[in-house]
Amino acid sequence: MPTAQEFADEFERRFGARPQVFRAPGRVNLIGEHTDYNEGFILPAALEYETWAAAVPRSDRKLIIHSRARNETRSFDLDAVSPQPLGDWTDYVYGTALTLERAGHRLTGADMMITSSVPIGAGLSSSAALEVSIGYALVSTAGISLDPVSLALTCQKAENDYVGMRCGIMDQYISCLGVAGHALLIDCRTLESRQVPIDAGVRIVVSNSMVHHQLAGGANEYNARRAACEEGVRLLQPALPAITALRDVTPELLEVHKGLLPELVYRRCRHIVTENARVLAAETALSGGDVVRFGDLMDQSHVSMRDDYEISCAEVDILVDLARKLPGVYGSRMTGGGFGGCTVSLVAADAVGAFIPALRNAYQTATGLVSTIFACSPGAGVGRLSV
C-alpha cells in the first residue's frame, strides 16, 4: 500500500485535482457465522486491512474510477436508463452508487481511485470494504450526511440486489461502525451493538487457507444456505406461529419440532440456533475474561459449521486442527462466509511469536500451501484520512 499522501499525489497526477481520501476496513468474525441473515447475533471486529477511495466531484453525472490493483479505468453514467451488472469489481462500485440514488440521495459525478490491502476472496470482507469506502466517498463528495447504520444497509442492499449475493448485514455493519480495540456484539434484528474489549492477554490471529472462496463454492452455496434457513422457518411456523426468523427458535424448541423438517434442513437450522446461543455465551465469557471458555465455543462453532452447515473445506479443517494442537491456543475456527478463506484463532499473547511460524510450517507440510498468517488489532470503522 502507498501512504495516504502518496495515494493522493498519484490521484492528482492522474486526475489533476487534490482528492479527499476515505477508508473502510475488512473484518474478522470471532464467532456467529451465518446468523446475521437469521436476525441473530454476531461478534466481528474491524481489521486494520482496508480499502481506500479517493474522490473529487465532477460537474456531470459520470463516475470515472481507476483501480490501482487492476490498473484499469472504467466509467459509468448515474443516469443510465437500464444499468446492467457486469459480473466484475465495478458492480460493487456502480451498484452502491445506484442504490444510494434509489434511496433518494442525489449524487454528483466523481473522479475516483481505489486501492486495498484487504485480501480478495479470503473471507475478510473485501467486498464490503469496497462498497463502504465507495458509498462513504460518494455521499461525502455530494455533501450528504448519512448515519453509519443507513450506509451499511444501503451497501448491503447493493450487494443483495445488484451483485446478486444475498449477504446479511455483518460485513457492511462492522466496516461502518467498527471500534478500535474492540469486537462488537451485534444484534442483527435491532441493529444495535455493544462494544466488547479484547482481553490484553490474548491476540486474534487470522490464517489464510489460500483456498479462494469464489472458486470453492461462492455465492451459489451461500444463497442455498440462506434458502434452507428460510425453508426451516416456513416449516416450523405451523407449530411455532410466533417465529419470523431462526433467531426466535431455541435449540430446545428445534429438538421438539425436528420431525417437521427434512434432515438436511434440520441440520442447517441446528447450526444457526446453536450458533446464536454460542455467540451470547462467548460474549459473556470474553467480557468476564474467561478466554478458555471463549476458545471452547470457537471450537464448537467450527464443528457445527463443518458438520451441520457444511461450509468448511478440507484445507480449512486442517488449518483449524493444526492450530488447536499448538501451545497457547484457546480456540480456532473458520471465519466468514466459508468454502475456503481464513481461520481465526485466539492465542495467548506471549505464544503468538512461536505460533505463527509453527502453523505456517505445519500447514505447508500437510497441504503444500503457504498460509499468510497475522495477528490483528481491531481497527476503526469507515472514516476520512488526512492527506
| Dihedral, CA of residue 36, residue 130, residue 75 and residue 110, to nearest 10 | 110
Q: In the complex with ligand GLA, which residue's Cβ is closer, 265 or 279? A: 279
Nearest of 166, 184, 162, 160 to residue 174 by alpha carbon: 184
Q: In the complex with ligand GLA, which residue's Cβ is closer, 337 or 381? A: 337
User: What is the Cα–Cα distance from 252 to 202, expressed in whole angstroms?
Assistant: 33
> 63, 112 in Cβ contact below 8 A?
yes
Q: Which of 33, 131, 275, 315 binds ligand GLA (CB under 6 A)?
A: 33
Q: In the complex with ligand GLA, which residue's Cβ is closer, 57 or 121? A: 121
Nearest of 310, 302, 309 to residue 335 by alpha carbon: 302
Q: Contact between 178 and ligand GLA (CB under 6 A)?
A: no
Q: Contact between 111 and ligand GLA (CB under 6 A)?
A: no
Selected range binding ligand GLA among 30-38, 109-117, 146-154, 246-254, rule: CB under 6 A:
30-38
Smallest separation, CB 136 to ligand GLA (Å): 18
Q: Contact between 25 and ligand GLA (CB under 6 A)?
A: no
Smallest separation, CB 37 to ligand GLA (Å): 6
Burial (0-12, 13-18, 19+ Cβ within 10 Å), 16: exposed
Contacts of 184 by beta carbon, 8 Å cutoff, 6+ apart:
43, 44, 45, 173, 174, 177, 178, 193, 194, 195, 196
Nearest of 269, 242, 197 to residue 40 by alpha carbon: 269
Write the interaction track for ligand GLA spanning residues 136-175; mark x where CB under 6 A is met and - where it is not. Answer: -------------------------------xx-xx----
Selected range binding ligand GLA among 18-26, 34-42, 249-257, 263-271, rule: CB under 6 A:
34-42
Q: In the complex with ligand GLA, which residue's Cβ is closer, 68 or 226? A: 226
- Would you state the cell numbers that stand for residue 88, as one nine-digit string? 466484475
Active site residue 171: yes
Q: Contact between 308 and ligand GLA (CB under 6 A)?
A: no
Q: In the complex with ligand GLA, which residue's Cβ is closer, 140 or 335? A: 335
Q: Contact between 217 and ligand GLA (CB under 6 A)?
A: no
Smallest separation, CB 357 to ligand GLA (Å): 29
Q: Contact between 381 and ligand GLA (CB under 6 A)?
A: no
Q: Which of 26, 119, 217, 336 binds ligand GLA (CB under 6 A)?
A: 336
Smallest separation, CB 218 to ligand GLA (Å): 11
Q: Which of 34, 68, 247, 271 binds ligand GLA (CB under 6 A)?
A: 34
Buried b (16+ CB within 10 A) or exposed e, 327-341: ebbbbbbbbbbbbbb
Quickly tell me which residue has 461502518 as its cell. Answer: 176
User: What is the Cα–Cα distance from 57 to 292, expressed in whole angstroms?
Assistant: 51
Q: In the complex with ligand GLA, which residue's Cβ is closer, 113 or 129? A: 129
Point out the catalytic residue in the list 36, 91, 111, 171. 171
Smallest separation, CB 165 to ligand GLA (Å): 7
Q: In the complex with ligand GLA, which residue's Cβ is closer, 140 or 276? A: 276
Q: Contact between 50 and ligand GLA (CB under 6 A)?
A: no
Give me the amino acid identity at 285.
Answer: A
User: What is the Cα–Cα distance from 90 to 86, expressed in whole angstroms?
Assistant: 7
Q: Contact between 337 and ligand GLA (CB under 6 A)?
A: yes
Scanning the chain, the segments in alpha helix (DSSP H) are 4-15, 90-102, 126-141, 148-157, 170-177, 218-236, 251-256, 263-287, 291-304, 314-324, 352-367
User: What is the Cα–Cα distance from 237 to 273, expressed in whole angstroms?
Assistant: 15
User: What is the Cα–Cα distance from 331 to 297, expressed in whole angstroms?
Assistant: 8
Which residues are catalytically annotated? Answer: 171
Binding site for ligand GLA (CB under 6 A): 29, 33-34, 36-37, 125, 167-168, 170-171, 336-337
